[in-house]
Amino acid sequence: MIRVKVPATTANIGPGFDAIGIALNLYNYVDIEKRSDHQQNIQFTSDFTIEDSQNLTLTALIYTLERYSAVTRGFDLIIHENNIPLSRGLGSSAAAIVAGIYCANYLLDNRLSQQEIINMATELEGHPDNVVPAILGNMVISVFQNKQVTYSVVEIDADLIFKVLIPSFELSTSKARAAMPKEYPLCDCVNNISKVSLLVSAFYSKNYALLEVALQDHIHEPYRLPLIPDSNKILDQLKAIGLYGSFISGAGPTLIGLTDNANDSFDTQIEAHLNSLSHKWTLRSLTADTQGAQYIPL
Give the interface with ligand HSE as residue ranges (CB under 6 A).
11-12, 17-18, 127, 129-130, 173, 176-177, 220, 250-251
Q: Return the number of the residue (42 or 179) whose C-beta is nearest ligand HSE.
A: 179
Between the two ends of the chain, the Cα-to-Cα distance in Å is 6
CB closer to ligand HSE out of 15 and 257: 15
Cβ closest to ligand HSE, residue 127 vs residue 273: 127
Distance CA 218, CA 152 (A): 24
The least distance separating ligand HSE from the CB of residue 194, rounded to whole angstroms, comes to 20
CB of 1 to ligand HSE, least distance (A): 30
Q: Give 88 or 273: the residue with its C-beta nearer to ligand HSE.
A: 88
CB of 27 vs ligand HSE, minimal distance in Å: 18
β-bridge pairing 255-259 and 161-167? antiparallel
CB of 220 or CB of 273, closer to ligand HSE: 220
Minimum distance between the CB of residue 76 and ligand HSE, rounded to whole angstroms? 30
- What DSSP string runs through 99-116? HHHHHHHHHTTS-S-HHH
Q: Which of 87, 91, 179 is nearest to 135 (CA)?
A: 91
User: Which residue, 296, 295, 293, is CA-closest to 6?
Assistant: 293
Phi (first) and psi of residue 10, to 5 degrees:
-115, 125
> Least distance to ligand HSE from the beta carbon of 15, Å?
11
270 and 162 in contact (C-beta within 8 Å)? no
Could you give the C-alpha distances from 46 to 29, 83, 161, in angstroms and in order? Answer: 12, 11, 30
